[in-house]
Structure 1
Amino acid sequence: MATSHKLQPILTIVVFTIFVIGANGERCDTSSIQVDTINTGTIVTGGDTIFVVEVKNQCPCAVRNLRLDGRGFATTVDVDPAAFRADDGGVYLVNGGEPIPRMATVSFQYAWDHFFQMTPRSLEVDGPC
């Protein structure tokens, strides 16, 4: 019986840790963001191709102030600045910095003669989850 009393504080800490971190042990970070670029096959005046970028939050929490590294990004069509806008030195703010709910997708399109690789650079977890 004395052993069970010694294990109780340890068990409490383990349960609390699972609650705080999540059952799968994963924290939200840039690896929780999926960025897909889709070639639509549509050609605009000037010969550039329309690409659609889908940014999906796979974190179990909402995230905000999501920034993508998109060095070299250019487009011949306007991009909705509420969805994607230049922030600083090749870094771009997604969704105007507003929260992106878990499993939600923000998308935008651009036109160029090739696609640009975009990778998550930083984010903030929006509240408890």
Structure 2
Amino acid sequence: MGRGRERIVQCASCGRQVRRDKAVFIEKAVFSNPVERKDADPSESYSRAFFREFAYCPGCGKHLRVYEKKKKLMERQRERDRERTFFGRPKPRSEMHSSRTGGYKEPAPGQQAAPAEPASEQPKKEGE
């Protein structure tokens, strides 16, 4: 929504009305009791929990430690992203491991294998 008027959201804790860009959001799992569910449809799959996004004003976000929870969530996400990357690039799906090739890397298709050169002997000195 640009720089115009922001939408107003209501704090889930104290009820204060806050601009949406100032509010702190967190997703929580909300559980429902299957006995209380009146519109039970046998053909529909039933999920006990669903996620709902709660908005908090900055004061309640600080008091309820929402900021610390968000920090931990972001840190976990960064760790996952770091594990998925390989020197700044996404990890290759399958690498040629030496255990599969008997210790020698197989040449790429279309390339010739380099011929194995015999170890060259050192020239002998005249005194030996």
TM-score range, shorter chain: under 0.3
TM-score, normalised to structure 2, is: 0.24
Q: Which has the higher strand share?
A: 1
**Based on CA coordinates, which of the two structures has the bigger radius of gyration?**
2
